[in-house]
């Protein structure tokens, strides 16, 4: 799958987030990278920033939070499971929702309980 196709899947996953939630997202940007940092080669996505639940009056003039979805590990994981394009679509959606949930202050434990682990 080309990078452009993968980026389109990420955009489509973002489009499926209910508008009432996307309206609440604040100061966050979404990126696609081919590979994660070398110390975590199987990482599918990463949220970097200050969750909405932790922001206070001090939060002003800061760079946007960053959500990154990693193409390489996603394709390798799904390919290893023989998931094909449908598997990639599903995994991208789970990853996007997972990282957006971190933006809203939801931790990994709760996400696993909800099936987005």
- 48-65: average pLDDT: 91
pLDDT of residue 74: 97
Give every CB contact of residue 88 below 8 A, 6+ residues apart in sequence: 1, 6, 9, 74, 75, 78
pLDDT of residue 81: 66
SS3 content of the chain, % helix, strand, coil (to 5): 50, 15, 40
Tens of pLDDT, residue by residue over 17-44, are 999 999 999 999 999 999 999 999 999 9
> Above 90 in pLDDT, residue 12?
yes
Q: pTM score, two decimals?
A: 0.90
Residue-averaged pLDDT of the chain: 92
CB of 36 within 8 A of CB of 43? Answer: yes
Q: Is 62 helix (H, G, I), strand (E, B) or coil?
A: coil
The single residue listed with the structure tokens 């971190």 is 102
Closest CA to 66 of 103, 101, 35: 103
pLDDT of residue 114: 83
CA dist., res. 101 & res. 47, Å (int): 9
Domains parsed from the chain with CATH numbers: 3-51+63-114 (3.30.2010.20)
Tens of pLDDT, residue by residue over 70-117, are 999 999 999 866 678 899 999 999 999 999 999 999 998 998 888 777
């Amino acid at each position: 799958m080309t990078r452009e196709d993968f980026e389109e899947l990420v955009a489509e996953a973002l489009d499926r987030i209910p508008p009432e939630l996307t309206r609440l997202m604040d100061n966050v940007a979404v990126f696609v990278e081919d590979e994660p940092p070398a110390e975590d080669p199987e990482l599918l996505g990463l949220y970097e920033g200050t969750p909405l639940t932790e922001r206070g009056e001090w939060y002003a003039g800061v760079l946007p939070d960053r959500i990154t979805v990693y193409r390489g590990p996603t394709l390798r994981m799904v390919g290893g499971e023989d998931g094909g394009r449908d598997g990639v679509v599903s995994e991208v959606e789970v990853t996007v929702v997972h990282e957006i949930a971190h933006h809203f202050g939801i931790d990994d434990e709760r996400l696993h309980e909800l099936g987005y682990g």
